[in-house]
Amino acid sequence: MAKVKQTVYDILKGKFLVDEGAPKNWFMLVFLAGLALVMIASSHSIDKKVQEIAVLNKEMRELRSAFVATRSDLMKIKMESAIIKKLEEEGLYVAENPPQKIIVKQ
């Protein structure tokens, strides 16, 4: 038990960083610190992309609703009754007799 206690004290005091095997420990610590930095950067990058996706999804929903509203307006404008009403305002009326085909013989 005393040996475990002494080992814990040595780790807390940092003796593993200054003894004869220290370079191996330093390389491992630098490697672990580098991995931690890569993980943090990756996490920030992912968060940024998730927020960007949320913004783009919101914009897509808004554009889709605008598209549906515009298509609905277009369908109303293309209706025959709407066209007839607009033409009557201009002074043009629908013919009561259908057009007749003229055949020219030579």
pLDDT exceeds cutoff 80 at 15: no
Taking a C-beta distance cutoff of 8 angstroms, is the pair 82, 76 a contact? yes
Q: Tell me the HSE value of 58 on the side-chain side, using a 13 A CA sphere.
A: 6
- pTM confidence score: 0.55
| Angle, CA 51 vertex, CA 50 and CA 54 arms, to 5° | 90
pLDDT exceeds cutoff 90 at 64: yes
Give the tokens for residue 35.
Answer: 């991995």
pLDDT exceeds cutoff 90 at 98: no
Q: What pLDDT, on the 0 to 100 scale, is given for residue 71?
A: 96
Q: What pLDDT, on the 0 to 100 scale, is given for residue 70?
A: 96
- Annotated domain spans of the chain: 2-90
Q: What is the mean pLDDT of residues 5-17?
A: 78
